[in-house]
Structure 1
Amino acid sequence: MAILDYSSDIWREALGIGEGEEPAALILEGTWWRETATENRLGKLTDVKELAFPEMYSGLYGDVPVVYCCAYGAARAVEPAHVFAQMGTPLLIQLGTCGTLDVDASTGQVILPEVCAARDGVSQYYGAADTVRTDPAWVERAEQVLHSFDRQTQRAYHLTWPSLFAQSDEMCDGWAAEGLLSIDMETSAVVAVADRFGSAAVSMLSVWDALPHGRTFLDPLEPEDLKRLKDSNELIFDAALLLAQEVQQNRSI
């Protein structure tokens, strides 16, 4: 049997997760710096253990069960998203950095994708159309939490693209002309998986690359910009944990 035809029972047996034991949220993060990110994120959880599938970690935020996985690119991100969404995990949260096509966006601003152009190369196999939508209620809550942290946010018509490197100036100009404001490599694929299996999905992305200004990750940031980026990367994880806490509270009502 091909994997897309598996039942959720296969995943439950493989991971030893019974009915009703699903995490409140799966938190995914797309970054090259997997080891550092994983160490930092898991440091905020207790009772951490690596699951039977590598680099997928369960832990507790207070009494809230969550799973964290550092998964770079759509092809990798859909794997944990598929497993946990099919098992009934209520909320999938995508974190990471993004490039902006907005000439006025500042480094460290948090992008909240609302509509995503699904050009990641994977989404269509989960039934996605040209665009997918994150969950409006969770976008609203994420924005409220980030504002409580005094963090600037921007809702966006967003693009998920399969490669960080396969982006030319001509492509970026075309995307800006479409009204796209930001680019990452995971969000639309995670949303497509969530839609297929009935989970909700939200994405919080810190602005790094400023494409209208020709700035990529290779260009050093000014100290104040670097601080804003680092702060945002911490705050979006804190926000994700608070969203997971709300899921858990809603479960007990």
Structure 2
Amino acid sequence: MPISRAGFPETKKGSLMAILDYSGEIWREALGIPRGREPAALILEGTWWRETATGNRLSKLSDVRELAFPDMFAGSWNDVDVVYCCAYGAARAVEPAHIFAQLGTPLLIQIGTCGTLDPQASSGKVILPESCAARDGVSQHYGAGQTVRMDAHWLERAERHLNGHAVETQRAYHLTWPSLFAQSDDMCDGWAAEGLLSIDMETSTVAAVADYFGVKAVSMLTVWDALPHGRTFLDPLEPDDAARLKRSNQKVFDVALELAEEAGKARSEA
């Protein structure tokens, strides 16, 4: 495809195209991914601690390489191609989700931590959103309504794998919100009154993009902030809580890899 002097692909008429109108082939060429080597899963993680998280996650993969776009790493696990990207917030998560969903990656997996509105939820419990209030500021541009849903099959598989690793889980009506900071006590009270159980900054966006391109999405989020108790990431955890949080974070990534393996097998058998 011809490239403009500004560095962007051109349409047949020579005018610049908006990214939402790009074809998958543009991404394939830009990333250097051969047809048939699209990853079985994209694993997205929302966290401030990008360097630490990326190092820990990539240590589990083999043949790791950074793709042409920064912070997007391809590797393999049990001979299955996987891409990992640390992407904080909806505005960032939408980009790798869009690229790999358009390339036909069958499963988008969101992991990370979340805040809970449940007074009984302990640190380290893993929230599995079933439906998600899409208030992230991005989802509606991909055709989402007020709520989006996770894929029921992959939700069940995630739950089974996590429980098999002795990780406590809870299905939830979940909220994706644009900012960790723009949350007041009154807002949290209102969300709890709606029946919302947990909050993150990426899940509904990833689900909306998956729906737009006809692929699947699932989210596994470890409880950290306990909003009914006034505890945020600034407050130190008790040793037992910190240990549960660390263990669940590790197991969530292990399960993400197990789901990727299943997605790869399902694709090869289709």
Is the TM-score greater than 0.5? yes
2-structure distance, mates of 1:71, 1:166: 19
Q: Distance in 1 between matches of 2:263 and 2:240?
A: 35
Q: Distance in 1 between matches of 2:158 and 2:36?
A: 25
For 2:233 and 2:69, locate their aligned partners in 1 and report how far apart those are by CA, in whole Å: 30
After TM superposition, the runs of 4+ consecutive aligned structure 1 residues lying more than 4 A away are none
Shift of 1:250: 1.2
Aligned-partner Cα distance in 2 for 1:139–1:220: 31
The reply on whether 1:62 has 2:72 as its aligned counterpart is: no
TM-score for both structures, normalised by structure 2: 0.93
Q: Which residue matches 2:138?
A: 122
Q: Deviations over 1:98-157 (max 9, x none)?
A: 000001111100000010000000001011000000000000000000000001000000
Q: Distance in 2 between matches of 1:237 and 1:172?
A: 28
Query: Which of 107, 117, 122 is equivalent to 1:106?
Result: 122
- The reply to whether residue 134 of structure 1 matches residue 155 of structure 2 is no
Among residues 213, 227, 235, which one is paired with 1:211 in the alignment? 227
Greater radius of gyration (CA): 2
**Cα deviation, residue 252, structure 1:** 2.4
Equivalent in the alignment of 1:163: 179
Aligned-CA RMSD value: 0.5
Superposition map of 1:3-152 within 5 A: 3-152=19-168
Alpha-carbon distance in structure 1 between the residues aligned to 2:92 and 2:265: 30
What secondary structure, in the 3-state scheme, does the structure 2 residue paired with 1:252 have? helix
Deviations for 1:175-218, whole angstroms, at most 9, x for unmatched residues?
Answer: 00000000000000000000000110000000000001111001
What's the counterpart of residue 202 of structure 2?
Answer: 186
What residue ranges of structure 1 are gaps of 5+ in the alignment? none
C-alpha separation between the residues in 2 aligned to 1:126 and 1:224? 41
Q: What code does the residue aligned with 2:141 have?
A: Y
Identity among equivalent positions (%) equals 76
Task: Using the TM superposition, give the Cα deviation of residue 19 of structure 1 relative to its aligned residue in structure 2, in angstroms.
Answer: 2.2
Which residue, out of 203, 221, 242, partners 1:226? 242
- How far has the Cα of 1:17 moved from its partner? 1.3
Question: Normalising by the residue count of structure 1, what TM-score does the alignment of the two structures yield?
Answer: 0.99
The offset of 1:251, in angstroms, is: 2.0
The residue identity in structure 1 corresponding to 2:146 is D
